[in-house]
Amino acid sequence: MVDDNILIARVISSGDQHAFATLIRKYQGAIRQFLRRLTAGDQATADDIAQEAFLRVYQNLDSFLGTSTFSTWAHKIAYNCFLKYKQKVYHQYEIEGFDFSVLEAQVEDIEKDLIIERLMKCLDLAERTCITLSVSAGMSHQEICVVTKFPLGTIKSHINRGKQKLMDKVNNHKT
């Protein structure tokens, strides 16, 4: 697979649409999953925000300095698009009743992903963001700092508190 920096250079220097399409294919799954988790499973909204994010990536590609990975930079743009969306439209996500027996059953990956998205509703936005970037996107705490602009200690607290909430929710179901 072609290196991200080569693809970026092609897009910037000659407007190579094929190179940009390659970047999108490479990162669209991770960005969409990140946004689905932030929107607590609202796939339509997540896809709309992802479209906006990739448009901004394209428009601002010449400002990519390479001080972080392209993935981190794209996640940061997606996160900023999500925050802008949240400012425009106030959404209160309800924590719906959840049937935890599905966690114990053998379910396909797509079903597990939907279950996780529903579970994430019990977390506040900052916890969802940090856990998703850490676990799903595989980012280090430092990379999460770049994306969210949260201090390192805050990120660690959000991840620990969020994991504890998820464990409590699962454990409360079992008792």
All structural domains of the chain, each given as residue ranges with its CATH number in brackets, are 4-174 (1.10.1740.10)
Residue 37: both structure tokens together: 């988790």
For residue 131, pLDDT beyond 70 = yes
In this predicted structure, what is the pLDDT of residue 91? 40
In this predicted structure, what is the pLDDT of residue 48? 93
Mean pLDDT along residues 39-65: 92
Sign of CA dihedral 11, 13, 15, 19: negative
For residue 85, pLDDT beyond 80 = yes
In this predicted structure, what is the pLDDT of residue 93? 40
For residue 66, pLDDT beyond 90 = no
Residue 56: both structure tokens together: 């901004």
Instruction: Report residue 38 CA to chain centroid gap.
Output: 6
24 or 86, which is more confident: 24
State the Cα–Cα distance between residues 172 and 175, nearest whole angstrom.
5
Mean pLDDT along residues 68-84: 94
State the Cα–Cα distance between residues 79 and 104, nearest whole angstrom.
32
Q: With pLDDT > 90 as the criterion, what percentage of the chain qualifies?
A: 55
Q: Rounded mean pLDDT of the chain? A: 84
For residue 94, pLDDT beyond 60 = no
Residue 117: both structure tokens together: 């998205």
State the Cα–Cα distance between residues 136 and 111, nearest whole angstrom.
16
